[in-house]
C-alpha cells in the first residue's frame, strides 16, 4: 500500500456515541480531513438494535469513503466493566464491517494516540482537540469529543504507518531468512547422512 495518499478511517468506539473520521495522508506529515461525524444510539434501545444501527452507519461510511485502513481505539477497562463490555460489542461490529471488505484494522491505546499527536501520553481532551484542529488546519475544533478522538486516531495511524510498514517488512525479511537457513540446514543434514 502506498503510504502517501493513504485514506484512513479513525474510529472512537462507543455504543451511545461512536466517533468516525476519514483523513487522507499526503507527503511527510501532511494530512487532510475528509469527513468526521458521530453515530448515536439511544441508551433505552435494545442492544441488538443499537449494534445494527452502528453496523449500518459504519458500513455506509466505508462504502462512501473507501478507506485503505481503519484505526480504532483499543478497548480497555476504565473502572466500569459493564461500559467496557458494551463498548467491546460495538468494537466487534466495527471490526467485522472492515474485515468483510478486507480492510486492515490497527488498534491504538489512548496514551499511544496522545503521545503521537501531542508528544505527551497524558494530554487532556482540550490539549488533544487543540492539536487535532491545528494539525488538520480546521477553522474550528471538531465537536463532540468523540469526533475529535476519531480524527486523532486517524492522524496517529498516518504518522505511525511508515514505522509499522518498516517493522512488517523487517519481520517478513527475517522470516524469509530463517526459512532459507532452515532449508540449508536440512540440505546439509541430508548430505551428511
**Which candidate in 44, 60, 63, 73 is catalytic?**
73
Phi/psi for 175 (5° steps) reads -65, -40
Query: According to the annotation, is 73 in a ligand binding site?
Result: yes
The catalytic position among 140, 146, 167, 172 is: 146
Residue pair 11/141 in contact by the 8 Å Cβ criterion? no
Question: Is 146 annotated in the active site?
Answer: yes
Annotated ligand binding at 64? The verdict is no
Of the residues 12, 46, 124, 140, only one is catalytic, namely 12
Those residues with Cβ within 8 angstroms of residue 4's Cβ, 6 or more apart along the chain or in another chain: 25, 26, 27
12 in a known ligand binding site:
yes
| Residues in Cβ contact with 92 at an 8 Å cutoff, skipping those fewer than 6 apart | none
Q: Is 64 tagged catalytic?
A: no
**What three-state secondary structure class fits 143?**
coil
Cβ-proximal residues to 178 (8 Å cutoff; 6+ apart), any chain: none
124 is catalytic: no
Binding residues: 12, 73, 146
Binding residues for Mg(2+): 12, 73, 146
Residues with a known catalytic role: 12, 73, 146
Amino acid at each position: 500500500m502506498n503510504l502517501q495518499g493513504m485514506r484512513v478511517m479513525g474510529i472512537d468506539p462507543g455504543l451511545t456515541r461512536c466517533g468516525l473520521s476519514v483523513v487522507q495522508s499526503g507527503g511527510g506529515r501532511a494530512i487532510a480531513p475528509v469527513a468526521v461525524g458521530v453515530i448515536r444510539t439511544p441508551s433505552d434501545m435494545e442492544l441488538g438494535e443499537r449494534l445494527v444501527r452502528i453496523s449500518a452507519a459504519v458500513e455506509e461510511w466505508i462504502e462512501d469513503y473507501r478507506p485503505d485502513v481503519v484505526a480504532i481505539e483499543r478497548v480497555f477497562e476504565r473502572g466500569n466493566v459493564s461500559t467496557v463490555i458494551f463498548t467491546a460489542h460495538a468494537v466487534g461490529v466495527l471490526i467485522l464491517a472492515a474485515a468483510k471488505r478486507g480492510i486492515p484494522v490497527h488498534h491504538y491505546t489512548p496514551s499511544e494516540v496522545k503521545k503521537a499527536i501531542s508528544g505527551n501520553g497524558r494530554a487532556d481532551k482540550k490539549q488533544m482537540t487543540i492539536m487535532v484542529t491545528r494539525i488538520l488546519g480546521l477553522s474550528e475544533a471538531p465537536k463532540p469529543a468523540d469526533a475529535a478522538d476519531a480524527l486523532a486516531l486517524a492522524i496517529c495511524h498516518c504518522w505511525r504507518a511508515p514505522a509499522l510498514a518498516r517493522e512488517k517488512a523487517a519481520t517478513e525479511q527475517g522470516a524469509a531468512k530463517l526459512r532459507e537457513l532452515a532449508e540449508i540446514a536440512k540440505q546439509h543434514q541430508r548430505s551428511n547422512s
